[in-house]
Amino acid sequence: MSEHLHIMQHAMGMDEYGRFIRGDYRNHYVIGAGAPAHDECMALVAEGLMALHAATELTGGMDCFVVTDAGRRWVQNNSPAPPKVSRSHRRHAGALAG
């Protein structure tokens, strides 16, 4: 998985297959300048896939990046399909869930 895809999925609260975790939706990735992923986020801003909101007191002085509409479409188109799960495995997982 590319680092760009991973960052945007994380920003939106998705797993590695582009599915929302716990049904939650969020859209932010807060990171300080100098961190390795900060440069990746800046590259995503340059590509129009993320937008930068400058550091504030609320973000602890770190930059806040949000995924744009184009970025959401890019994530949908580039997330891998989840693995196939057999019917019996789904049934077993359902029994464990209660």
- Per the structure, the complete domain to which residue 23 belongs is given by 3-97
Tally of domains in the chain: 1
Strand order in the sheet with 50-53: 29-31, 63-67, 50-53
The confidence band for 26, taking pLDDT boundaries of 50, 70 and 90, is confident
CB 25 within 8 A of CB 19: no
What number is the average pLDDT over the span 5-14?
94
| Cα–Cα distance, 16 to 12 (Å, whole number) | 11
pTM: 0.81
Number of Cβ within 10 Å of residue 62's Cβ equals: 17
How confident is the model at residue 34, as a pLDDT? 92
How confident is the model at residue 25, as a pLDDT? 77
Number of Cβ within 10 Å of residue 43's Cβ equals: 14
How confident is the model at residue 98, as a pLDDT? 62
Query: Measured between alpha carbons, how far is residue 46 from residues 1, 22, 35, 73, 85 in Å?
Result: 20, 31, 18, 16, 38
Q: With a cut of 80, say whether residue 36 has pLDDT above it.
A: yes
How confident is the model at residue 32, as a pLDDT? 94
pLDDT in tens, 44-80: 999 999 999 988 899 999 999 999 999 999 999 999 9
The residue to which tokens 């920003």 are assigned: 11
What pairing do the DSSP bridges indicate for beta strands 29-31 and 50-53?
A: unpaired
